[in-house]
A and B are shown apart, each in its own frame.
Chain A
Amino acid sequence: MIETAIKLANITFSYDAEEPQLKNLSLEIEKGECVLVTGASGCGKTTLTRLINGLIPHYYEGELTGELHLNGKNARELEEWEYGQQVGSVFQDARSQFFTSNVLDELAFASENYGLEAERINQRIEAVMKQNQIDYLKKRKLAQLSSGEKQKVAMGAVEVHSPEIFVLDEPSANLDNQGNAQLAATVKQLKQAGKTILIADHRIHYLMEVVDRVVYLAKGEVKAQWTIDEFRQLSKTALHSFDIREKQEVYISELLREENREPAFLALQNLTIGYHRLAPSLIKDLNLTLAKGEIVLITGENGLGKTTLARTLCGLNKEQAGSININGQMQTAKKRREKCWFVLQDADYQLFSDSVLNELLLGTKKTEENLVKAERLLKELNLWKLKDQHPATLSGGQKQRLVFAVGLMREPELLILDEPTSGLDAGNMRRVQRMIVDYANKGITFVIITHDLEFAKGFGRRTIQLEKAVSSKLQPSDLAVFK
């Protein structure tokens, strides 16, 4: 007999009695099954994961009707703390899912809460660390780990307590291809151990070998379901119509290419950079030229200095050696700050004002001319009808467009984007792509840092991979790789 691990029957949920996030949703997941839930932003994926791990209704309140059974038990009879014994959760943002400050404590945390004996916890930790090959992290502090390592520890922390059901909410958002592959391997191990796994994610290519079933949500309802075999058969156009991301992994080798377009607008000569002037150099002797209106994508592992490069380009850091020229003139850090704009991965850091319109006008002179310009930009980016709202009330995509608009308001010549697609669905990803291409055609040069290769591929432009090395130099061959 096949047992059901998760059974949702006619679930309807709304956070604030408005439009329900989940509508009459019914779904059964068998024991030992691995299910991928996907769909556009706001389709109810996260709400579904919160329902299963008990955060709804115990932490996020709202109106809930319908029945949820976990391992045959009605969830209504569960106390809020009892969920955690059956369901382990992994979240998107590593910074905010760790309660403790070092790896060992985090691994032990859940088991300690449930009162397991110390000896038993230590045994479990040893076993999990061995299985996931994270022994070497045992004594490290969480703050020093890379995103990939943090995600591994987050998975490990759940495994130590060994619940029957695993719920993963966008675990791949901050990972590169290598990190994704490791995550997939861990999920595979769990599946072999007979665990039930539900993964909600936009990026799906890395899971193609692991999942048994794909569930497509739209507006809080299950719109379609495929077994993995059926899903593999789906055509590209079908996927496109569902706004689902690529099934196939995009390899970096498909993207790398070298083109030198003249005349050079931005030229880096023997540029050497580091966290600050006296810190060890991260990138040495970098030579690179960009033409006006060019889009360049920079990819590579974490910790190689991608963000430092971006900070140096836009004048937040001073260069250690070499020079940065725009239109043939050397630019000091102060001048660069006026000519460049940097869009961070998380828009919350860059919004300071009390309304969308004021955000654009902040720091500019309040002239008629600026007002007209702000209005034009907001209309172009489809934000005009939100002009009186507080920036904090916008959705993630809207916030990102607003930061973009703030940058455009200053008429920058160079725009730098850091991971613009983390957590975006296919539709929104293409929208960002179109927006960038539009403005590049108007003469703004773009440098985009990303490890989302599918996004990079969509441009078909120059892509550069940073590699770990003492000195980096552009190879004259067709591969634009820093060796």
Chain B
Amino acid sequence: MKKSIDPRIQFLLLIVQSVLVLCAGMGQLILLNVFALFYLVYAGLYQTACKMGAVIATTVALYGYMLLSDQQWVKFLGFLCFLVLRFGPVIIMARVLQEVPTGRLMAAMQSLRLPKNFILTLAVTLRFFPIIKMENDTIQMSARLRGLSYSQPRNWLRPLQVFEYTFVPLMMRTMKIADELTASAMTKGIDCPDQRTSIYQTRLTSKDLILVAFFIGYMVCIFTFNFLEV
């Protein structure tokens, strides 16, 4: 069973992490990535942790090679490394947020007294990403059959047109699903003005507090002492 981190804590860490990523130097960025990986392991997403770990290790290695080499084209790759390392920690932590059951997320948001409309929008948005991905996969499949996919070289000359062809059905499907989802939610009392209850406890546990304490300690450490001077 996966360990569950309170969604409020997750949001807090995600926001702080996003800010730190913007003002961190390269050495600190690498350490932020390391934290994000441990965070994945803590949340029980071992497979994702392995994959992301490999990606980040490669990027760091590439970055190191780039610093030593003085060929110009390698310098260009530096920009890519820079992007991966900057966005990595945020994407990883957002990935953990996706694992939170919808009901738990809504309960946690509610305890922060956020407006109901905001909570619903957030819950639906998070739930919609996987749907859009699935829909897009199916559309790309039929686009390939029709010779309209990017995997066919002759389409590289007209990228906009191909994008339009595959985007229209995606829009159509998304609109249809959104419409049906709303209808379904309405028949289940989503508009009920009473206070919403939840089967999830919204009390913060000591584990959550330890996680926050560890996070703060770690951040203070890496920003005070520059461990990796690169």
Taking Cβ atoms with an 8 Å cutoff, the residues of A that contact B are: 50, 53-55, 58-60, 79-81, 83-85, 87-89, 91, 93, 95-102, 104-105, 108-118, 121-122, 125, 139, 143, 157, 161, 311, 314-316, 337, 341-342, 344, 346, 348-353, 362-363, 392, 406
Partner of A115, one of B141, B172, B195: B195
Q: How many A-B residue pairs have CB under 8 A?
A: 160
Q: 30 pairs across A/B with beta carbons < 8 Å? A: A60-B183, A80-B191, A81-B191, A88-B187, A93-B180, A95-B131, A96-B176, A96-B180, A96-B181, A99-B127, A102-B101, A105-B104, A109-B103, A110-B188, A111-B197, A112-B103, A112-B196, A114-B189, A114-B194, A116-B197, A121-B199, A315-B145, A348-B176, A349-B138, A349-B141, A352-B143, A352-B146, A352-B165, A352-B168, A362-B165
Closest chain B residue to A115, Cβ basis: B194
- On chain A, the residues within 8 Å of B1 by CB distance are 139
With CB as the reference atom, state the residue of chain A lying closest to B186: A59
Residues of A within 8 A of B8 (CB): none
Q: With both chains docked as a complex, state the minimum distance between the C-beta of B119 and any C-beta of chain A, in angstroms.
A: 12
**Closest approach, in angstroms, between the C-beta of B177 and any C-beta of chain A?**
5
B144 in contact (CB, < 8 A): yes
The CA-CA distance from A311 to B144 in the complex, in Å, is 12
**8 new A-B pairs (CB below 8 Å) besides A112-B196, A349-B169?**
A81-B189, A84-B192, A99-B123, A99-B188, A115-B197, A125-B199, A348-B173, A352-B168
B197 CB to closest chain A CB (Å) equals: 5
CB distance from B182 to the nearest CB of A (A): 7
Q: Is the CB of B197 within 8 A of A91?
A: no
- For B96, what are the chain A residues with a Cβ–Cβ distance below 8 Å? none
Nearest neighbor of B120 in chain A, beta-carbon distance: A99
Size of B's binding interface in residues, CB under 8 A: 50
Contact residue among A98, A104, A116, A352 (Cβ-Cβ distance under 8 Å from B169): A352
A316 neighbours in B (Cβ, 8 Å) = 141, 144-145
Contacts of A80 in B (CB 8 A): 186, 191
A96-B180, A99-B127, A352-B143 known; A363 vs B103 contact (CB < 8 Å): no
**A101 CB to nearest B CB, Å:** 5
A60 to B183, CA, bound (A): 9
Q: For the complex, is B190 an interface residue (Cβ under 8 Å from A)?
A: yes
* A362: chain B residues within 8 A (beta carbon): 146, 148, 165
Give min CB distance, B143 to chain A, whole Å. 7
The answer, yes or no, to whether B139 is at the interface (CB within 8 Å) is yes
Task: Answer whether residue B18 sits at the interface, using C-beta atoms and an 8 A cutoff.
Answer: no
Bound-state CA distance A314–B141 (Å) is: 11
Distance in Å: Cβ of A345 to nearest Cβ of chain B: 10
Q: Judge if B69 is at the interface, Cβ distance under 8 Å.
A: no
Residues of A within 8 A of B190 (CB): 81, 99, 113
Assembly CA distance A87 to B180 (angstroms)? 17
B185 within 8 A of A: yes
Q: Within the assembled complex, what's the spacing in Å between the Cα atoms of A161 and B192?
A: 14
Who on chain B is nearest to A79 by CB? Answer: B191
Once the chains bind, are B186 and A105 in contact (CB under 8 Å)?
A: no
Contact indicator per residue, chain B 98-141, by CB within 8 Å of chain A (1) or not (0):
00011110000000000000000001100100110001001101
Q: Are A342 and B145 in contact (CB under 8 A)?
A: yes
Q: Is the CB of A337 within 8 A of B103?
A: no
Select one of A113, A121, A139, A349 contacting B188, CB under 8 A: A113
Which residue of A84, A112, A143 is within 8 Å of B198 (Cβ)? Answer: A112
B153 within 8 A of A: no
Across-interface contacts of A89 in B (CB, < 8 A): 184, 187
Cβ-defined partner of A101 (8 Å) among B101, B181, B186, B197: B101
Q: Does B64 contact A (CB under 8 A)?
A: no
- Counting from the closest, the 6 A-B pairs by CB-CB distance are A105-B103, A100-B102, A96-B180, A84-B189, A113-B189, A81-B191
Question: CB distance A353 to B182 under 8 Å?
Answer: no
Question: Given the complex, which residues of B lie within 8 Å of A349, measured CB to CB?
Answer: 135, 138-139, 141-142, 169, 173
B147 at the interface (CB under 8 A from A): yes
A353 touches B165 (CB 8 A): yes
Chain B residues numbered 190-210 whose CB sits less than 8 Å from any CB in chain A: 190-200
Interface assignment of B166: CB less than 8 Å from any CB of chain A: yes
CA distance A89 to B101 in the complex (A): 23
Is the beta-carbon distance between A363 and B147 smaller than 8 angstroms? Answer: yes
C-alpha spacing A314/B144, complex, angstroms: 11
For B188, the chain A residues whose CB sits under 8 A away are: 84, 99, 109-110, 113, 157, 161
Contact assessment for B182 and A122 in the assembled complex, using a CB-CB cutoff below 8 Å: no
Provide the residues of chain A in CB contact with B200, threshold 8 Å.
118
CB distance from B146 to the nearest CB of A (A): 6
Residues of B within 8 A of A353 (CB): 165
Chain A residues in 8 Å Cβ range of B198: 108, 112, 118
